[in-house]
Amino acid sequence: MQKEYTITVYTEDRIGITNRITVIFTRRQINITSLTTAETEIPGVYKFIITVMSTRELLDKVVGQIERLIEIHRAFVHEEEDVVYQELALYKVSTQSLDKGNIEQIIRENNAKIITVDPNYFVIEKTGHQQELLDMLKQLEPFGIIEYSKSGRVAIVKWSRRFHDHLKELGEKVEDNLNSISV
């Protein structure tokens, strides 16, 4: 059965690594619905957080093929309940429409906050799950949304303690310096 899965991939810091990972999805006609990547706490090790709609059976094979890549440390498939995750959205709203209702209440009720104020617009930030972010978008619509921007998923794996130790060990191992992005 198709449902949403989170995939985490730990990689070396290499030019082209994103392409190497994504071609494995595209080969199997799987669409990546969001992708977040950044360096982990271990210098030189990157973490990709990918969300897709697919089946567990297929994704287990995909993850195996990702792990086969030389510059991949590990890759995992996670069910919804295996991860704690958040997404972040920014909403740019026109100041001129503030009199159209009680925007402060909306911000408060959504646990959002204003992060920038300008004479013409202000920017609200909210973290949450996709639906919560969309719900607030709807509430803000009467005020005139100038721009809406949402991140991919950031996830923490509930059972990941042992893997974190593995990562720390990795940090102690020498990496070569060919083609690193940061060179």
Partner 1 sequence: MKTNESEKRSDLETITGATAVIRSLVAEGVDTIFGYPGGAIMPIYDALYDFQDQVHHILVRHEQGATHAAQGYARSNGKVGVVFATSGPGATNLVTGLADAYMDSTPMVCITGQVAASLLGTDAFQETDVINITTPITKWNIQVTKAEDIPGAIAKAFYIARSGRPGPVLVDITKNAQFAEFEYEYKACDYIRSYKPVPELNTTSIEAAATLINMAKRPYILCGHGVLIAGAEKALLELAEKAQIPIASTLLGLSAVPVDHPLYMGFLGMHGNYSPNINTNECDVLIAVGMRFDDRVTGDVKTYASQAKVIHIEIDAAEINKIIKADIPVLADAKAALEALIPHVNPAVRPEWLQSFKELDKQEDEIVNQPELYPTEGQLKMAEVVRMISERTNGEAILVTDVGQHQMIASRYYRFKNPNTNITSGGMGTMGFALPAAMGAKVGAPHKEVVAVIGDGCFQMTLQELATIYQTQIGVKIVILNNNFLGMVRQWQQLFFDKRYSSTEMTNPDFVQIAKGFFIPGKKVTSREEIVAAIDEMISHDGAYLLEVVVEKEDNVFPMIAAGAPISTIRLQ
Q: Under the rule (CB under 8 A), what is the footprint of partner 1? A: 11-12, 15-16, 19-20, 23, 27, 60-61, 64-65, 67-68, 70-73, 170, 173-180, 182-183
Residue 136 or 167: the one with the smaller Cβ distance to partner 1 is 167
Residue 11 or 36: the one with the smaller Cβ distance to partner 1 is 11
- The number of beta carbons lying within 10 Å of the beta carbon of residue 107 is 19
Residue 150 has φ and ψ, to the nearest 5°, of: -130, 145
CB of 171 to partner 1, least distance (A): 10
At 73, the amino acid letter reads H
Quote the CA–CA distance of 15 and 181 in Å, as a whole number: 6
Residue whose tokens read 């969309």: 134
Residue 74 or 150: the one with the smaller Cβ distance to partner 1 is 74
In the three-class reduction of DSSP (H, G, I as helix; E, B as strand; rest coil), residue 118 is classed as coil
Nearest to 128 by CA among 146, 114, 110: 110
CB of 35 to partner 1, least distance (A): 17
CB of 78 to partner 1, least distance (A): 19
Residue 53 or 181: the one with the smaller Cβ distance to partner 1 is 181
Residue 16 or 142: the one with the smaller Cβ distance to partner 1 is 16
DSSP state of 119: S
In the three-class reduction of DSSP (H, G, I as helix; E, B as strand; rest coil), residue 183 is classed as coil
CB of 20 to partner 1, least distance (A): 6
CB of 157 to partner 1, least distance (A): 19
Quote the CA–CA distance of 47 and 12 in Å, as a whole number: 9
Cα torsion 127, 129, 130, 135 to 10°: value is -80
